[in-house]
């Protein structure tokens, strides 16, 4: 997962592009934003996503969205809300695939 902060607000998303099932988003370690830092950018084909809701606005998956991760900020700390299972991807409908469907190394 990754977190983007805009002012006092934080947005969390799973590190998976909706365009291709196993594609990670970061184009370099801990780098998820485009050059002017106005959108989240996928490393593979350059899709650009709104930071506020993860919807793809430009690129091969327009209209699809990153899977959000619920977060809260408490006294300058960022906390996950609810369950989160690292390494297990969820599809764009929020459903987890079977373990057999996961790429090796997950």
In the complex, which residues of this chain contact ligand FES (CB under 6 A)? 17, 19-20, 23, 42, 44-45, 47, 59-61
Minimum CB distance to ligand FES, residue 33 (Å): 14
Q: Which is nearer to ligand FES, 37 or 45 (CB)?
A: 45
Cα–Cα distance, 97 to 60 (Å, whole number): 23
Closest approach, Cβ 45 to ligand FES, in A, equals 3
Cα separation, 60 vs 8, in Å, equals 31
Give me the torsion for CA of 69, 61, 26, 39, rounded to 10°.
Answer: -80
């Amino acid at each position: 997962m990754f977190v983007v902060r805009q002012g006092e607000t934080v947005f969390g998303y799973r590190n998976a592009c909706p365009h291709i099932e196993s594609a990670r988003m970061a184009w370099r370690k801990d780098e998820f934003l485009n050059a002017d830092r106005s959108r989240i950018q996928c490393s593979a084909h350059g899709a650009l996503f709104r930071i506020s809701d993860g919807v793809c606005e430009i690129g091969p998956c327009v209209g699809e969205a990153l899977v959000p991760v619920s977060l809260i900020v408490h006294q300058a700390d960022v906390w996950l809300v609810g369950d989160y299972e690292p390494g297990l991807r969820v599809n764009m409908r929020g459903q987890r695939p079977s373990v057999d469907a996961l790429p090796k190394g997950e």
